[in-house]
Structure 1
């Protein structure tokens, strides 16, 4: 019975030894993986520092460009304000001309009869003038035929 205990103890010791070996291999593999992860993280930190520097430079250039654009836009703003003022002035002028034309049309419409009479009177004067010329020409022709 003691032999069985010794055999059981030996089997348990061998089992513990096998477990210790596998556990050791697993720990070595895990240690190697963690070392590679640490190395990768160090490389990434270095890369990120480079990227951070480039990003900062890009942001600085973007800010400079934005300031330049804002300055140029500020210089151009008065031109657009002036164009707006010209447009407003032209609108006022157009409205004034429209009102003047409407007023003139209304006055002409109100004086249609007077205008028609004046035109008729001028036609009568021109016709009378033409008759006088014809009469004068006839008298001169008659004088010439007598001579």
Structure 2
């Protein structure tokens, strides 16, 4: 029975040795993985510091550019205000011209009958003048014809 105990103890010792070997390999592999992760984190930290420096420079440049743009926009604002004023003036001028045209059209419409009457009277006067010339020419022709008969 003591032999069985020794055998059992030997089997247990061998099992513990196997477990210790596998545990050692696992711990060694884990240690290597952790070392690689530490190196990777160290590289990432270095690169992130470089990137954050570049990002800070880019933000500074963007802020400078934004300030420059804001300054230029402030300088251009009066031009847009002036353009707006010109547009308002043009609108006022356009309305004035429209009102003047409407007034002229209304005056012409109101005087249209008078103009038509004036044209009609002038036509009548011209026709009367032509008739008078014709009568005078006829009288002179008759007078000449009468003188020729007497001669």
The unaligned stretches of length 5 or more in structure 2 are 135-151
Corresponding residue of 1:23:
23
Query: What is the DSSP-based 3-state SS (H/G/I as helix, E as strand, rest coil) of the residue aligned with 1:111?
Result: helix
Cα distance change of structure 1 residues 42 and 133 upon mapping to structure 2, 3 Å threshold = farther
Count matched residues: 135
Please state if 1:105 is matched with 2:111: no
TM-score by length of 1: 0.82
Corresponding residue of 1:96:
96
Query: What is the DSSP-based 3-state SS (H/G/I as helix, E as strand, rest coil) of the residue aligned with 2:63?
Result: helix
Superposition deviation, residue 111 in structure 1: 1.3
Superposition deviation, residue 68 in structure 1: 0.8
Superposed CA offset, 1:33-58 (max 9, x none): 10110111011000000000000000
Superposition deviation, residue 83 in structure 1: 0.9
TM-score by length of 2: 0.79
CA RMSD of aligned residues (A): 2.2
Superposition deviation, residue 12 in structure 1: 0.5
Superposition deviation, residue 121 in structure 1: 3.9
Cα distance change of structure 1 residues 52 and 129 upon mapping to structure 2, 3 Å threshold = farther
Please state if 1:77 is matched with 2:77: yes
Cα distance change of structure 1 residues 47 and 79 upon mapping to structure 2, 3 Å threshold = same
